């Protein structure tokens, strides 16, 4: 039998049973139903009446009769958008009764969205997750899950259209780079329709730590115009250190630091060069920015100009006996000290005059200037040398008057003169003008004997006579022969004495043996 013919028969049977009960009544089949939004459902209204009842269905929904029989009628309800409770009614004579059906509409959320997270979130502070859900029914079967990765942070029911679900989360270091999302679950498993899920797009969180204190700026208290000095800015305990930005500046001059990062610290180093016209107290600033926060520190730097003192000699090269003026001048505000100058009132200049002598040749004059900048003493020095022309001088210590040399020996003959410029010395033998080889190693020969006139030429001329005497080689041989003969004679005498003593001891020994033998015979009994 076909399903369409079974339903009217079933309804007739139900009506007959109800009529047998002896009471007029109205019922509906099914009594409740769950349908997708926009879907349709068939509803049957039944009446128990001993006569033909008049049946109807009250509902704002679109309805269409699809079948009927004695005391029953079936309607198709279509385009259902929301929950509804249609009412079946019947008129049995003057008696009217009714019955309602519960229609529940389900539909998936149209959108699930997690609101944007803070661009940067400080570690240790709370932030709020906002999940917006548009649509979705029935509410009592719809819930929202707020997730960190796969970890469920909170689960809440949905109420209203649109719905917004929030939860508070404490930011941690390990949340840096973590993904957050929200998730909806429409649980229709009791209606055998399963668990319907939907998720929002994920959003990534960036957390950070930027200490309130600890930013250090190391810089010199004073800087000289034209110099280049390093400054560095350091901060420990920040996270993530590599994301931090550093700004270094001296007054309006932005520096270009080199930044080195470690796991939780940074060190920014830059070179500062100051130019003329920037003298005075300037502010050096360091700013570290991480996330949406910044930390700042600064140091005062005193910029100063302090050129080296100006040291002058009235003449830097003078003959011996010349008066020379030495003068030193320094930057205003500095105090100079000039060696050789008499002690006087400290000031930015000093001078004195001296009579140049040979001892002053090569003398170095030192002018030291000191300037106090922000409580720090800064020194600058300048030196100048004096050249004194004097001489030449031929002293006995440098060029002896008498030289006694040994023929055949290797020697360097020295005759030197002192003076500035260094004198040139030449010695010529009186008589034949032969040149004495001085200053070089040579073998001494008898032919260099004689009297020489040594002439030193420099800042003037001076002469000295020297006598050179060479001991002859024959005299040396005679001395050697005498010494050898004496040594040989000594050897002969010694050998003869040794042999004489040896013979004497042998004779004494033999005589002693003979006496002992004689005594033995005398003492022997007959």
C-alpha span between 234 and 266 (Å, rounded)? 6
Please state which of the ranges 36-45, 225-234, 337-346, 355-364 shows the lowest mean pLDDT: 337-346
Whether 226 and 307 have beta carbons less than 8 Å apart is answered as: no
Mean of per-residue pLDDT scores for the chain: 86
Helix (H) or strand (E) holding 44, with range, is: strand 39-48
CA distance to 40, 159, 317, 380, 467, per residue, from 351 (Å): 118, 99, 18, 17, 50
- pLDDT digit string (tens) for 363-413? 999 999 999 999 999 999 999 999 999 989 888 888 999 989 999 899 988
Please determine, for residue 10, whether its predicted confidence score (pLDDT) is greater than 50: no
Q: Residue range 291-298: average pLDDT?
A: 94
Return the percentage of the chain with pLDDT > 90, whole number.
60
Whether 436 and 405 have beta carbons less than 8 Å apart is answered as: no
Give the model's confidence band at 427: pLDDT under 50 very low, under 70 low, under 90 confident, else very high. Answer: very high
Q: Is 236 exposed, middle or buried (0-12, 13-18, 19+ CB in 10 A)?
A: middle
Q: Which two tokens stand for residue 46?
A: 């039944």
87: left (phi over 0), alpha (psi -120 to 50) or beta: beta
Q: In the structure, how many helices (H) and strands (E) does the chain have?
A: 2, 43
pLDDT at 256: 93
Global pTM exceeds 0.85? no
More confident residue, 516 or 502: 502
Please determine, for residue 24, whether its predicted confidence score (pLDDT) is greater than 80: no
More confident residue, 252 or 232: 232
Nearest to 127 by CA among 151, 102, 153: 153
CA distance to 116, 164, 406, per residue, from 159 (Å): 22, 8, 131
Start-end of H helices in 99-195: none
Nearest to 86 by CA among 124, 140, 30: 30
- pLDDT digit string (tens) for 444-497? 899 999 999 999 998 889 999 999 999 986 545 555 566 666 666 776 777 777
- Give the angle subtended at the CA of 308 by the CAs of 305 and 312, to the nearest 5°: 140
Helix/strand/coil (H/E/C) assignment for every residue in 70-94: CCEEEEEEEEECCCECCEEEEEECC
Q: Residue range 314-333: average pLDDT?
A: 93
């Amino acid at each position: 039998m076909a399903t369409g013919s079974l339903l009217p028969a079933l309804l007739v049977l139900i009506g007959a049973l109800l009529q047998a009960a002896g009471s007029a009544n109205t019922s509906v089949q099914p009594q409740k139903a769950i349908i997708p939004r926009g879907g349709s459902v068939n509803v049957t209204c039944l009446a128990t009446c001993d006569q033909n009842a008049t049946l109807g269905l009250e509902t704002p929904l679109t309805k269409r009769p699809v079948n009927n029989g004695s005391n029953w009628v079936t309607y198709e309800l279509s385009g259902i958008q929301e929950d509804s409770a249609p009412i079946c009614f019947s008129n049995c004579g003057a008696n009217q009764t009714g019955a309602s059906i519960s229609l529940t509409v389900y539909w998936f959320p149209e959108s699930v969205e997690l609101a944007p997270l803070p661009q940067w979130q400080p570690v240790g502070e709370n932030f709020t997750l906002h999940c917006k859900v548009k649509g979705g029914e029935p509410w009592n079967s719809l819930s929202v899950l707020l997730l960190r990765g796969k970890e469920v942070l909170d689960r809440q029911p949905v109420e209203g259209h649109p719905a917004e679900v929030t939860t508070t989360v404490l930011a941690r270091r390990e949340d840096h780079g973590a993904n957050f999302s929200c998730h909806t679950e429409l649980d229709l498993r009791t209606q055998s329709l399963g668990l319907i899920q939907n998720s929002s797009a994920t959003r990534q969180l960036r957390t950070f730590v930027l200490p309130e204190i600890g930013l250090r700026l190391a810089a010199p208290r004073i800087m000289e115009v034209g110099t280049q000095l390093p400054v560095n800015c350091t901060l420990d305990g920040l996270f993530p250190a590599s994301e931090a930005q550093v700004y270094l500046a001296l007054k309006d001059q932005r520096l270009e630091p080199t930044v080195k990062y470690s796991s939780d610290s940074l060190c920014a180093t830059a070179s500062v060069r100051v130019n003329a016209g920037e003298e005075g107290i300037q502010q050096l600033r360091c700013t570290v920015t991480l996330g949406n926060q910044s930390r700042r520190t600064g140091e005062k730097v005193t910029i100063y100009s302090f050129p080296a003192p100006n040291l002058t000699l009235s003449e830097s090269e003078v003959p011996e006996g010349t008066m020379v003026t030495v003068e030193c001048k320094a930057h205003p505000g500095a105090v100079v000290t000039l060696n050789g100058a008499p002690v006087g009132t400290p000031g930015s200049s000093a001078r004195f005059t001296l009579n140049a002598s040979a001892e002053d040749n090569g003398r170095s004059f030192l002018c030291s200037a000191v300037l106090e900048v922000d409580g720090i003493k800064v020194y600058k020095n300048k030196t100048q040398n004096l050249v004194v022309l004097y001489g030449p001088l031929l002293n006995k210590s440098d060029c002896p008057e008498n030289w006694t040399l040994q023929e055949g020996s290797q020697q360097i003959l020295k005759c030197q003169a002192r003076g500035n410029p260094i004198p040139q010395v030449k010695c010529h033998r009186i008589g034949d003008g032969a040149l004495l080889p001085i200053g070089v190693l040579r073998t001494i020969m008898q032919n260099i004997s004689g009297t020489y006139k040594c002439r030193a030429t420099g800042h003037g001329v001076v002469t000295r006579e020297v006598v050179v005497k060479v001991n002859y080689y024959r005299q040396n041989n005679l001395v050697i022969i005498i010494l050898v003969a004496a040594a040989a004679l000594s050897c002969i005498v010694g050998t003869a004495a040794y042999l004489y003593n040896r013979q004497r001891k042998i004779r004494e020994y033999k005589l002693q043996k003979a006496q002992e033998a004689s005594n033995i015979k005398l003492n022997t009994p007959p």
